[in-house]
Structure 1
Amino acid sequence: MAKDQQNSPNGLQQGSPVTDKMPDELQQFVAVVQGCLSRMHTYRNAGSNGTDPTFSDPLPVVINPHPGVRQCNWDEFKNRRPDTVLFSIETLVAGPNLHLSVYDESVKRGLRGPPEECYEQLSCCMDTGVASPRIHRIRIQSAAILRLLNTVSGDSWDITRSHTFFRPFAYLIHHQVKVKQMFDVLSTLAPTLASLHVSDSQRTATGDRLAEEASPGISARAVLEDIRAYIDFVDTALLPLYQQFEGLSNGSLTVDFDDLWYLFRPGELVWCSWEAMPDNEDEESLDLPGRQEMWRMINFKPYVHSVRYDLLYNEIDVKRPTKNIPGQAIAVCYYLDNDGEKLIPVWRDFPITPFSGRRKIKDLCVFPVRFLPEFDQRVLEFKKRGERFLRSIQLGHVWYKGQTLLIDPKGKRDRNGNGKLAEATDDYEGDVIVDFRGAIADNFRWRLKHHPEEDQSVGSSTTVELYRVVCWNENTKSPRIVAESHYELVVGNDDIERFERSTFRAEDRFVATADRDLGKVQLTDKDLVLLPLRVYGFRLGVRSYDLLNVNGITEINYNPSALDELEIGNFHKKMIQSLVDSHFKDKALANAHPELENYRGSKAQGLVILIQGPPGVGKTATAQATAQVTQRPLLSIGLEDVDVMGEKFRWLFGRAEAWGAVILLDEVDVYLSHRSAHDMNANIMVTVFLHVLENFSGIIFLTTNRPGVLDEAVKSRAHAIICYQPLNLERTIRVFQLNIKKLIRDEEIRNSLTEGNELVVMEDQVIEFARDHYLSHCKEKELTPWNGRQIANAFRIATSLARYEVLCNPKAQPQLRRSHFDQVELLTREYDRARFYAIGKSDSKFAYDQGERYDEVEDGNDNWQDQHQTDISTLPGRLDTLSSPNYNDYRMRLVPSIPVTTPLGRGGSENKTKNFGASADRTRLPQSSYHHGSAVVQHQETNFGD
């Protein structure tokens, strides 16, 4: 039952309404009680007539108890003398020396074994840390009270036997509301049934066989007096224990182990302190993030009290285990997680090991979150984290900076694909796909399943304690004058956790909701704090699923002008724009009208673009820029992702298809080289690649600097083939200018985050160096001008040199000058000369001689300063030349320009790229301008910023 304070003045959950058939039920109720007393009367008469009572019988209820409560010490609780007044309820009240009282009583009864051993056995299970007396046990010996508890709980106690309950008396507190409801109705009927006696028909209906001889009568009023005394006792003695922590938030407050049930309320937020957990599998990893700390309480299971079997007496020879300590208490909680489709509750049991004395609440392994210092701020922090968790799933493609996680929310160390424990975290900064569905599908160890708790029949259990209750004929103790001796029937497991869980299940939106409907549950702020720190993410840079920290995730700011910032020439930009734009429009049309697929054939309608050219001219940057302007992830596949049969390759393409990612196959010549009759593995690899390319419906960029070794089938698979040439002087200067702008922008961000003087770029000197560098390297055959990637690296090194110069003088302002680039040039010059003399030619000439690439350099002449200077806007011609059947015979040094004056789909004079696929009104070029497999584009303008 959920111990929520909203439904009852006592902070208890209201029970189900009591039935309206009270007159009949009251008669039946009293009939059952009278039948019980009649049987007890018969039992006593049998004993008084000489029949020896069975000493192994549990202690019976009192036939005519005095309404009220009798407080007892251990001696009084276990012994009854002729002058003892028997009440309907007896309590065992003791302080820290209860174990001594048990020991003394055991010695008096003739305990076998050395006293020292007995004392050690007793002290191992008795509480020695409680300073003041308190109630340890409650014995109910009224048949009326036991019958009422059966009625409201659905249990089936034997109401002819007394029942003893252990602390924390959760069963009695839990049912108090229903007991009071029943009592209120019975009280209104009592005046009309003041001297009720049970008729023969009622005896038959209830199955009670009353003795023919005289038996004590019972009235409804007597029954109600017993019940009223019980209710007053629970209200005054037990409910204050249950309510002692309500409204408090001081974590320095202390609690006894057997009072932990009073601390928790089902449905409230609890904090898990993993450092205090008794069952940590890996204590060395406690400082690692990933464990879930905020949970929701389902129910709290007090430890199951055990009875003592090692107290042996002269009258019975019984041998039992000699050690008996309390078991663990269990807090059952859940947090919320994503199973790939929806949020589900994930359950976990938190054991609390027994401890002696009192312990601070904040030192427990699990405690209500309100006892956490500054818990309001912590809850707000977890709420924001939960919002970030949901947002990351919604976005899918995000940026991640941080370490991978080794620990899952339930506190277990993650395992790798081979089943071995993950050993180390991995620092990563780059693009990530948050993909729970794909991660869980590919990693069985991460699978979660929602198991709604079904309604279960609630039933408590009792056991017999061998430490007898002795009834004496005289007020002195002697085995010769024992009248009766009974074992005590104790409630070993009151099953309170099942009562609470059953009620909580009916109220909690996640536990009570069927699996198929969990996706419809609306989250509240209190639900958001239950979402985990961990997300399942696919790291595009390393191409693997990992546990990632949600706090390291940020949204990606896509650059819609990424293509415009590349120095690849307007013709190339327009070609790529038109292909990509048309691709997304065709896909949108096919999704809206599936019947069009009948006219397209069985193969997927993907877009394959092959870009060839020497290193560092922007092939990779073109794919990256396309992914930016289309706001899609870029999945780069390398040689390490390829096996002979292409299983991982197919798997990666399947992931990319699901994410809508742009694929980059860099250095594709490694996989798609010429097939031959001598290498079957290579042939299989090429065949697999070609098949996958044909069936992929997304965008694929293939790049190579060795087009001469590609299999001839690649040409027909590519929708466009674009050729990039080495940098000329004009483009070299422009790429230097682009890097200067980027450096200035980065410096502004750097200065806003750190202290120090801003780096000043001597732009005139840097541009002068760019010009001199290009011209000087073109004049020497053993040297090669820097490509775009080398220029970017040079800026990085030169910037480091500029800052290092003023390292010892913090007040000096760093300046990026020509001299810094001269130092970088010395390094590359030495390497270029060494390489030239090693192979006897330039890299371009070497590639040409190997049949790998032609950079349009005349034989014996490596000087490029006078080549490729023509602007495409000055060239006449028509684009449909590209689709001519004779285009392979056409020498494409001068490529016709597209007869438009502005970028595709834009008005005015701005030269910016639009997000493809985001607008339906983009102007579409005729299909003939990029006929399937027929567009081969060569152009002198190149990318400088790869």
Structure 2
Amino acid sequence: MEESSSESVTDQFHYSSHGRPQRKWVQQRYGRSSPTPAEAYADEAYSDEESSDEESSEELHENPYEPYEEPYEVPCKATDDRRSSASLTPESQKRDVVIGVRFYDTRGFYNRVVNDAGDFTIEALVGSPDATEDNRLEMARRNRIISRRHEHRNLNDGKLLPVSKLGTPGRISMVRIRSAAVVRAIIEFGGNPTMSLDYSLDGKLFLFPRPFTSFFYCQNDMKKRLAELRRRLEMEPEPEGPETAAPQPGEESDERALNKRAVEELRLYIEFVDSYIMPLWKQFDEVNDKTPRSISYGDIPLLFRAGELAYIRPPVEIRNNPNSGIQTVFKMVRSLRNNCRRKGNMFWSVYCLDYQDGGYTAVWRTIQFPHFDGLGIITTLPCYPLKLHPDCKRLLEHQIKGGENFRKCVEVGIRDIYYSGWTLVTGMLPKSYNASNIPEPEHVESEVIIDFKEGLRQLPSALYEPGDGRLDEPSFETRRHDSFLPEYRIWREPICEEYQSIRESLFSREDEIHRQIWQDIEKQDKFLTRNRDIAGIYFTDKHLAILPKRLPGYVLRERKFAILNARNVEIDLETGKAGLDIVQMPLGHKRIIKSAVAAHFQKRQRERSHRTTVRGVDLVRGKGNGLIILLHGPPGTGKTLTAEAVALEQKKPLFPITCGDLGFTPDKVEQSLKDIFRYAHLWDCILLLDEADVFLTRRNVTDIQRNALVSVFLRVLEYYSGILFLTTNRVGAIDEAFRSRIHISLNYKYLNCDETIAILDTHLKRLPRHNPKSASRRVEETGMIVRHNEIRSYIRQEYLKYSEKYKRERGPWNGRQIRNAVHIAACLAIYENQLDNSRDPVVLTAEHFRTVAKTTDEFDDYMKRVRRADADTMARMAGERDD
């Protein structure tokens, strides 16, 4: 190599004892006393100890990673009239490519000199984290020097960087590849449609910018290609012929020589990627104390892997709200960049799952990352891998639990789902929130019906646009030159006014890699296909985690739709075990109800199976297809419990309604009944109209509105095709017209002694029993000692005493009062134990029931004195019932 200047390396770079450039050199280099931060950062890449200039070309070939440390001086005459590249002869333009890897600073990377040490297979640009600033400084320096007329200045004082001074591989910002075999393989495996494989790559330069996505995703294929080329080379026969015609040492066929060089170049490339690129991509694979917690904007793609889980931070206004329904866990698909040159053009496409129209569908979101300078905390990004979340384990467990409940709700449908918890105040996707449009949550303890179609129609805030489950294909070029990069120049000689600008192809986008990844995910993930059938689908934990916690449901007890939290539903209820057998009623009543209900559902099943309507006994079609059962009798005798038991036994939802749900005007009542009957038919519910006498009271000539209400009920009930239970303790007040419209009417009498004791036993068995092995002092865990026989004996004595006093077969308590007495007596026992600060277990005795009975008797006696008669006498006098 020709000497570019009479000055030696040490003359050009004056270093202080600690390796930093002295002020004299800084003044000469930058024209000021101190460099900019970007210039100072780049200076740190220079070696503080210069190696010898005596390295031979043989050593370069023996160790391709050993750096060549002689600085390049690329001067240019200080004039504006630059010579064209045509003035460089073909011989001067021809440059050798040495099989090796070299690392350059920005100035050395973009400048060469004719007849220098040559070019290398892989050339890596090592710069500051802000490569844009480095490029700007280089182009500004070129323009500044060229504008100084009649001065001969060294345009490039860049140098090769030794591996020992490279530091972490995070500083490599660009890689130039001068191997046709390597580039052709990257194009082939990357699936780049903008370049044909027949396109000549010899002598062309290709730049690959950070984060080197193609290098990472094609590495396994590149290793397979290398193994294939090696096998092919080994199978090639050696040249044959007479000994006199044998090739001289070093002479081989052109094809074999090319193959051997391709093998060496591929081997070098693979070693380079394994050493410097793969660590970049794998630094976030495992989360531990050494995992980086911050990242630069350009390195954001290093965080994500297609198919992995991502966390999206919810809006600030709703971020700390525990009742937010916004989906935060998604599955990553691919990154996108638009053609906009403005900062902040990085996007990520992610999706979650939801259930709609009888199948699961993908719900897509595109997350934009606002640009930031320097390093940013990863957990402050709008989206980052879930595994980097500070509370990843707990969050993932909650998501999986909610997803499992969501899946079960889809499978179970509308039956046997109980909800206990707060409702959600938002839908699953974010929108503009403020204090005025965030509703208050409500606490729900009720059976619920999950109906996605009806629920989303009634709850606009839970709606979303699911899209078609596919991403738009990019329409931009993958291979182009970036005008914001310094042009690559080859200078004729150290002091000259001639240079050649060479166009480099920059793989600035790697959309084809992401398209291939998307296609692989689409093939593997059954939820992204057009097949929406949910039968036989197996959910992995990742699939469960991206299911929403938002469930649109109808709260039966509140008679309204609400956004429910999937984590708060109880699906595995013990249904079918409790039925009419737990209700204390005559066996004849049970047989009538069971037979009528079974016949009704069998008829409905035949209609569904044959998709036709089974004609009833009524002459008018559509009338009398329902089953209306009237249960009447004094309070607390099991009327409501009968309807609940039938629903449990038949595994059907019980839809309770009251007069307050229907309204008090004929128009309102009629519309409410139509809506409720529609829901009951849609969800196959059993309707319960408690205290039905409010709307069934007999008509009179003076109350027109009352008559209209009764008429509405008469007409609607006649055409209702489901099961309806009517309960009342004022059967005498019901209008005569309802008698013919009621299919079954059952009278519930006061409990006898055996029925009273049976109900008592049922409730006592539900109390937590004492566990002597438990170390806890909580009653829920340790239980209590129940003096069962003592309590039963006391209740029996009270029943007989009351029956003898009033000369009637009844006791002082009905079924509901027995349940309340057990609850209050247990509370008294626990309270007394706590007052004594006793470590002994809680003991429930008959004395606690005696205390409850005393207060109950006092209230009954008081009401009797006020009304001057007991409840039964007053009901008889009013013509409502005769017990």
TM norm structure 2? 0.68
Q: Shift of the alpha carbon at 1:636? A: 0.6
Deviates more, 1:617-626 or 1:813-822: 813-822
What residue in structure 2 maps to residue 922 of structure 1?
none
**1:663–1:699: 8 Å Cα contact kept in structure 2?**
yes
Question: How much has 1:703 moved relative to structure 2?
Answer: 1.0
Query: Corresponding residue for 1:738?
Result: 759
Q: Per-residue CA shift, 1:495-530, capped at 9, x if unaligned?
A: 256424443255223255214556565545664555
Counterparts of 1:638 and 1:651, CA distance in 2 = 14
Q: Does 1:298 align with 2:333?
A: yes
Change (3 A) 1:384 1:550: closer
Aligned equivalents of 1:52 and 1:678: distance in 2? Answer: 113
Distance 1:812 1:776 in 2: 40
Deviation at 1:747, TM superposition (A): 3.3
Q: CA RMSD in A?
A: 5.1
Cα shift at 1:665: 0.6
Q: Deviations over 1:522-568 (max 9, x none)?
A: 54566455544454443322233432334641422235564233232
Tell me which of 99, 109, 114 is aligned to 1:77.
109
Give the AA of the match of 1:755. T
Q: Give the Å deviation of 1:838.
A: 4.6
The structure-2 alpha-carbon separation of the partners of 1:629 and 1:363, relative to structure 1 and needing over 3 Å to count, comes to same
Do structure 1's residue 406 and structure 2's residue 424 form an aligned pair? yes
2:871 to 843, 853, 857: 843
What is the CA–CA distance in structure 2 between the aligned matches of 1:468 and 1:722, rounded to whole Å? Answer: 95
- Is the aligned partner of 1:168 residue 2:211? yes
Alignment partner, residue 93 of structure 1: 126
TM-superposed CA distance for 1:754, in Å, is: 1.1
Deviations 1:111-151 (A, max 9, x none): 69xxxxxxxxxxxxxxxx98567321124578887777666
Alignment partners' CA distance in 1, 2:653 and 2:597: 15
* 2:172 equivalent among 110, 135, 139: 135
Contact kept? 2:209, 2:507, Cα under 8 Å:
yes
- 1:659 matches 2:698: no
For the 8 Å contact 1:667–1:702, the answer to whether it is kept is yes
- Could you tell me which of 673, 697, 702 is aligned with 2:726? 702
Alignment of 1:435-834 (within 5 A): 435-444=451-460, 445-446=462-463, 449=466, 451-453=468-470, 456=473, 459-461=476-478, 462=480, 464-466=482-484, 468-469=486-487, 471=489, 481=497, 483=499, 490-496=506-512, 498-510=514-526, 512-516=528-532, 521-523=537-539, 527-528=543-544, 530-545=546-561, 546-550=563-567, 552-558=569-575, 560=577, 562-591=579-608, 597-598=614-615, 600=617, 601-603=621-623, 605-643=625-663, 644=668, 646-674=670-698, 685-725=709-749, 727=750, 730-731=752-753, 734-748=755-769, 753-755=780-782, 757-761=784-788, 762-763=790-791, 764-773=793-802, 785-809=812-836, 810-812=838-840, 814-834=842-862
Instruction: Give distance in 2, aligned partners of 1:334 and 1:474.
Output: 55
> What is the Cα deviation at residue 246 of structure 1?
5.8
Letter in 2 for 1:452: G
Aligned counterparts of 2:291 and 2:468: Cα–Cα separation in 1: 36
Residue type matched to 1:635 in 2?
A: F
Amino-acid identity (%): 25
Question: Is the 1:291–1:411 contact (alpha carbons within 8 Å) kept by the matching residues of 2?
Answer: yes
Cα 1:687/1:347, change in 2 over 3 Å: farther
Q: How far did 1:611 drift?
A: 1.5
Cα shift at 1:223: 8.3
**Counterpart Cα distance in 2 of 1:185 and 1:75:** 36
Task: Describe the SS at the equivalent of 1:138.
Answer: strand
How far off its partner does 1:694 sit? 3.0
Give the counterpart letter for 2:683 in structure 1.
W
CA distances 1:319-339 after superposition (whole Å, capped 9, x unpaired): xxxxx7555452x33343322
The gaps in structure 2 that reach 5 residues or longer are: 1-80, 87-92, 146-165, 237-253, 775-779
Number of the residue aligned with 1:238 = 273
Mapping for residues 60-459 of structure 1, pairs under 5 Å: 66=97, 68=99, 70-84=102-116, 85-86=118-119, 90-94=123-127, 105=138, 108-109=141-142, 134-139=171-176, 152-156=191-195, 164-174=207-217, 231-232=266-267, 234-240=269-275, 243-244=278-279, 249-255=286-292, 256-257=295-296, 258-262=298-302, 264-267=304-307, 269-270=308-309, 272=311, 277=313, 280=316, 282-285=318-321, 287=322, 295-301=330-336, 325=343, 327-328=345-346, 330=348, 332-349=349-366, 387-396=404-413, 397-400=415-418, 402-406=420-424, 410=428, 412=430, 421-444=437-460, 445-446=462-463, 449=466, 451-453=468-470, 456=473, 459=476
Contact preservation (8 Å) 1:765, 1:817 = no
- My pick for the range that moved more, 766-775 or 355-364, is 355-364
The structure-2 alpha-carbon separation of the partners of 1:415 and 1:386, relative to structure 1 and needing over 3 Å to count, comes to same
Judging changes above 3 Å, is the alpha-carbon distance between structure 1 residues 534 and 774 closer, same or farther for their aligned structure 2 residues? farther
Deviation of 1:603 after TM superposition, in Å, equals 3.1
Q: Deviations over 1:402-444 (max 9, x none)?
A: 313527795648999xx98554443333423344444345435
SS in 1 for 2:109: helix
State the secondary structure of the residue aligned to 1:658: helix
Per the alignment, do residues 806 and 619 of structure 1 end up closer, same or farther by CA in structure 2, a change over 3 Å counting? Answer: same
Q: Give CA deviations for 1:573-616 in whole Å, capped at 9, x if unaligned.
A: 23223322332344445555667725653236221101222322
Name the CA shift for 1:735/1:173 in 2 (closer, same or farther; >3 Å): same
Mark the CA change 1:227 to 1:576 in structure 2 (over 3 Å): closer, same or farther: same
Q: List runs of 5+ in structure 1 lacking aligned partners.
A: 1-49, 56-61, 113-128, 193-218, 308-323, 857-946
Whether the 8 Å contact between 1:472 and 1:484 is mirrored in structure 2 is: yes
What letter matches 1:542 in structure 2? E
Instruction: Indicate the larger mover: 76-85 or 241-250.
Output: 241-250
Task: Compute the displacement of 1:758 (Å).
Answer: 1.7
In the alignment, residue 882 of structure 2 is paired with which amino acid? D
Question: What per-residue deviation string (whole Å, max 9, x for no partner) do you get for residues 356-410 of structure 1?
Answer: 7788989987666777899999989976765554344333423535313527795
Distance 1:421 1:150 in 2: 52
CA gap 1:353/1:236 in 2 versus in 1, 3 angstroms? farther
C-alpha distance in structure 2 between counterparts of 1:163 and 1:802, whole Å: 85
Three-state SS of the structure 2 residue aligned to 1:344 is: strand
**Alignment check: 8 A CA contact 1:409 1:534 kept:** yes
C-alpha deviation, 1:824, in angstroms: 3.2
Report the counterpart of residue 884 of structure 1 in structure 2: none
State the SS of the aligned residue for 1:635: strand
Distance 1:87 1:233 in 2: 11
Deviations 1:857-892 (A, max 9, x none): xxxxxxxxxxxxxxxxxxxxxxxxxxxxxxxxxxxx
Greater RCO, CA 8 A, separation 6+: 1
- Structure 2: how far apart are the matches of 1:133 and 1:787? 80
Q: Larger deviation: 678-687 or 495-504?
A: 678-687
What count of residue pairs does the alignment treat as equivalent?
726
